[in-house]
Structure 1
Amino acid sequence: MASITGFGGAFLRAKDPEGLYRWYEQHLGLVRSHGSFSFPASAQQAQVVFAFFKQEDAYFPPAQKVMINLHVDDLDRVLDRLIAAGVTVDPKRESYDFGKFGWFIDPEGNRVELWQPVAEN
Structure 2
Amino acid sequence: MATVTPYLCAKNAAAALDFYAAAFGAVETSRWTDPETGAIGHAEFTVEGARIMIADEWPEGGVYAPDPGRSSVSLVLEVGDVDGLFERAVAAGATVDWPVTDSPHGRGGWLYDPFGHRWHLTSPEPDVTKDDLQAAVGDDYVIS
Does residue 107 (structure 1) correspond to residue 103 (structure 2)? The answer is: no
- Percent sequence identity over matched residues? 29
User: How many pairs were matched up?
Assistant: 97
Which 4+ runs in 1 deviate beyond 4 A? none
Q: Which runs of 5+ in 2 are unaligned?
A: 31-42, 51-68, 128-144
Q: Is the 8 A contact 1:101 1:114 kept in 2?
A: yes
**Alignment match, 2:6:** 10
Higher strand share: 2
Q: What is the SS of the residue equivalent to 1:12?
A: strand
- CA RMSD across the alignment: 2.6
CA distance in 1, matches of 2:28, 2:93: 23
Q: Is the 8 A contact 2:27 2:45 kept in 1?
A: yes
**Alignment match, 2:44:** 36
| 1:14 partner amino acid | A
| 1:30 partner amino acid | A
- The two structures have a TM-score, normalised by structure 2, of 0.55
The alpha-carbon distance between structure 1 residues 106 and 7, as it changes in their structure 2 partners (threshold 3 A), is same
Q: Which runs of 5+ in 1 are unaligned?
A: 45-60
Higher helix share: 2
**Alignment match, 1:66:** 73
1:86 Cα deviation after fit: 4.6
- The two structures have a TM-score, normalised by structure 1, of 0.64
